[in-house]
């Protein structure tokens, strides 16, 4: 199968071709990070306009890269939710146009599902497993069964882990998105220097807002070096993730953990979360941790093979139901 994956949920436009027979991915990403960093965060209207400008050229170029024509495409996958509504509409409208024009089936893909299964692209791992999403908008633990049904086990009740990194970074005067800058600072810091709390210790859900406030107050107090605060913050993030993952492992009896999403780019987390859990954790490569079309194409392929619920171009209409 030749699957085209389209991602426009936030500030990255990406189109990918997945050749399932040869298990090969061809992918292009146009990031808007530089555009939005001036504003200290993603401006939805600007994001939508840039997706509209970028999606067609990326589609044409990725076909060339993969050495296929648009008529060779057998299935179209597109991120349907969650995300910025205007941004999603650009990708979904483009995908629907393709599906109608080419008379090919289309699958609307949940962005978090795509992040989770992106772990399978370069790792030899299959469900059942715990799918942990740590991104700018989400901190969720799912139980993923053999048929790729998802059961939500834990979620954040306030800030997502990436959002916490970004808000702390903004307060410290670092550029947006702040996650990589906090990671860089933390390399020079002492992770035991500052005592910081784990939110909602006894519960399954996450809470990061108390930790965020504590870190911000610590920075304001000027009692500690910023490097030490950053390192101590990352240590508590790992402790928090490990605590909740451990609960989920015990609750479900599952013994495989995959961790994906933008924050999974963080080397400290990649090294220390498995140590803290005392088990191997599967991560996508860093390129696949941030938003990309590869994961959307692969997720669409899995869903299509599994459910076969969409066929021919009429199915493109079904996608409206996904925009919720």
> Residues in the site for ligand KG4, rule: CB under 6 A?
10, 135-137, 162, 165-166, 177-180, 183, 261-263, 265-266, 290-291
Shortest Cβ 36–ligand KG4 spacing (Å): 11
Shortest Cβ 105–ligand KG4 spacing (Å): 26
DSSP 284-307: --HHHHS--HHHHHHHHHHHHHHH
Residue closer to ligand KG4 by CB (options 127, 162) is 162
Q: How far apart are CA 132 and CA 218, in angstroms?
A: 29
User: Residue 178 touches which of ligand KG4, Zn ion, none (CB < 5 to 8 A by kind)?
Assistant: ligand KG4
Number of H helices and number of E strands within the chain? 12, 9
Shortest Cβ 266–ligand KG4 spacing (Å): 3
Question: Which of these, 142, 66, 42, lies nearest to 297 by C-alpha position?
Answer: 66
User: Residue 77 touches which of Zn ion, ligand KG4, none (CB < 5 to 8 A by kind)?
Assistant: none
User: Residue 139 touches which of Zn ion, ligand KG4, none (CB < 5 to 8 A by kind)?
Assistant: none
Question: Which of these, 142, 82, 80, lies nearest to 117 by C-alpha position?
Answer: 142
Shortest Cβ 214–Zn ion spacing (Å): 27
Q: How far apart are CA 237 and CA 219, in angstroms?
A: 17
Q: How far apart are CA 119 and CA 125, in angstroms?
A: 8
3-state secondary structure of 25: strand
Shortest Cβ 292–ligand KG4 spacing (Å): 9
Interaction site with Zn ion (CB under 5 A): 135, 291
- Angle (nearest 5°) at CA 182 between 177 and 183: 110
Backbone angles phi, psi at 162, to 5 degrees: -65, -40
Residue closer to ligand KG4 by CB (options 162, 274) is 162
Residues with Cβ within 8 Å of residue 190, at least 6 apart in sequence: 227, 228, 231, 232
User: Residue 274 touches which of ligand KG4, Zn ion, none (CB < 5 to 8 A by kind)?
Assistant: none
Q: How far apart are CA 90 and CA 85, in angstroms?
A: 9
Shortest Cβ 228–Zn ion spacing (Å): 30
In the sheet that 139-144 helps form, which strands lie side by side, from edge to edge?
150-155, 139-144, 129-134, 257-260
User: Residue 137 touches which of ligand KG4, Zn ion, none (CB < 5 to 8 A by kind)?
Assistant: ligand KG4
Residue closer to Zn ion by CB (options 14, 234) is 14
Shortest Cβ 261–ligand KG4 spacing (Å): 4
User: Residue 32 touches which of ligand KG4, Zn ion, none (CB < 5 to 8 A by kind)?
Assistant: none
Backbone angles phi, psi at 90, to 5 degrees: -60, -50
Residue closer to ligand KG4 by CB (options 105, 178) is 178
Residue closer to ligand KG4 by CB (options 104, 115) is 115
Residue closer to ligand KG4 by CB (options 128, 180) is 180
Residue closer to ligand KG4 by CB (options 9, 207) is 9
Shortest Cβ 101–ligand KG4 spacing (Å): 29
Residue 195: burial class (beta carbons within 10 Å; 0-12, 13-18, 19+): exposed
Residue closer to ligand KG4 by CB (options 73, 229) is 229
């Amino acid at each position: 199968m030749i699957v085209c994956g389209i991602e426009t949920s936030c500030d990255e436009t990406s189109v990918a071709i997945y050749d399932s027979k040869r298990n090969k991915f061809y992918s292009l990403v146009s990031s808007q990070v530089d555009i939005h960093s001036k504003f200290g965060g993603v401006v939805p209207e600007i994001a939508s306009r840039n997706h509209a400008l970028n999606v067609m050229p990326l589609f044409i170029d990725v076909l060339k890269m993969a050495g296929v024509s648009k008529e060779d495409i057998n299935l179209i996958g597109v991120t349907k939710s969650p995300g910025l509504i205007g941004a999603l509409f650009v990708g979904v409208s483009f995908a629907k146009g393709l599906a109608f024009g080419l008379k090919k089936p289309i699958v609307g893909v949940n962005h978090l599902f795509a992040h989770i299964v992106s772990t399978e692209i370069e790792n030899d791992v299959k469900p059942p497993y715990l799918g942990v999403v740590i991104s700018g908008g989400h901190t969720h633990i799912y139980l993923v069964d053999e048929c790729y049904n998802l059961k939500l086990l834990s979620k954040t009740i306030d800030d997502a882990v990436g959002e916490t990194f970004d808000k702390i970074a903004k307060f410290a005067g670092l550029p947006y998105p702040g996650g990589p800058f906090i990671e860089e600072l933390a390399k020079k810091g002492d992770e035991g220097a500052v005592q910081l709390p784990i939110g909602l210790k006894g519960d399954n859900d996450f809470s990061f807002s108390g930790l965020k406030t504590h870190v911000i107050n610590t920075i304001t107090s000027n009692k500690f070096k910023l490097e030490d605060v950053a390192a101590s913050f990352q240590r508590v993030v790992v402790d928090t993730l490990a605590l909740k993952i451990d609960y989920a492992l015990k609750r479900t009896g599952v013994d495989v953990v995959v961790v994906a999403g933008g924050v999974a780019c963080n080397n400290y987390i990649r090294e220390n979360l498995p140590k803290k859990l005392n088990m191997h954790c599967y991560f996508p490569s860093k390129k696949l941790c941030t938003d990309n079309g590869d994961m959307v194409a692969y997720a669409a392929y899995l869903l299509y093979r599994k459910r076969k619920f969409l066929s021919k171009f009429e199915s493109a209409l079904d996608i409206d139901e996904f925009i919720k």
